[in-house]
Amino acid sequence: MPADYLTIQGAIDAANAGDEVVIAAGTYLENINFNGKAISVRSTNPADPAVVAATIIDGQKVGSVVSFQSGEGANSVLSGLTITGGDDWAGGGIFCEKSSPSITNNTISGNNADLGGGISCAWSSSSITNNTISENSATNGGGGIYCYLSRLTISSNSISGNITDYGGGICCLESSPTISNNTIN
């Protein structure tokens, strides 16, 4: 239950494989790390844009808002949230390293990084599906999404208004992503 813990991270820390951390509408000023757990962290209704817009994790410009760095796989799911206020060297909004989570139905906006203002994935096979990735910035590549040595699936996303010197929407180096059915402006 959303009211059972004071923070999202507290709920993640208490969760077991297969659990769902369901987040009530509101703004949460924190940065979260899945810590290798095969859990779902989601809003009360990831398919409702109004619920997604009202369920916000704001990293307050202190690192990546969401981190996957402990070998998470497809059963680690981030869904139906607004991810904003991230600022880090890679993955201002979402940082994936040697992990392959499922990232779906989120709004990722207003984040900054050197690489991957919205999302950065390295050594990853993440699925990035049905997200709105907008108004993020990166100094060195991938305003929206940056991937390195990865096999991402990037499909059915709206990617717009992201700023960088290289690859405003998507920048992939030494990677073989599957990119389909996205709108990139």
What pLDDT score was predicted for residue 165? 82
pLDDT confidence band for 1 (50 / 70 / 90):
very low
Mean predicted confidence (pLDDT) in 92-114: 98
- Mean pLDDT in residue range 154-180: 92
Q: What is the CATH number of domain 2-184?
A: 2.160.20
Please report, for the chain, the start and end positions of each structural domain, with discontinuous segments joined by +: 2-184
Asked if the model's pLDDT at residue 13 lies above 50, the reply is: yes
Closest CA to 32 of 52, 49, 15: 15
Residue at 59: amino acid letter: G
| Phi, psi dihedral angles at 4 (to 5 degrees) | -75, -20
Tens digit of each residue's pLDDT (9 = 90 or more) over 112-163: 999 999 999 999 999 999 999 999 999 999 999 999 999 999 999 999 999 9
Residue 109 above 80 pLDDT?
yes
Distance CA 185, CA 181 (A): 13
> Count of CB atoms within 10 A of residue 97's CB?
18
Residue 99's pLDDT is: 97
Quick check: 2 pLDDT over 60?
A: no
More confident site: 42 or 168: 42
Query: Could you read off the pLDDT of 28-85 as tens digits, one per residue?
Result: 999 999 999 999 999 999 999 999 999 999 999 999 999 999 999 999 999 999 999 9
What gap in Å lies between CA 94 and CA 154, rounded to an integer? 14
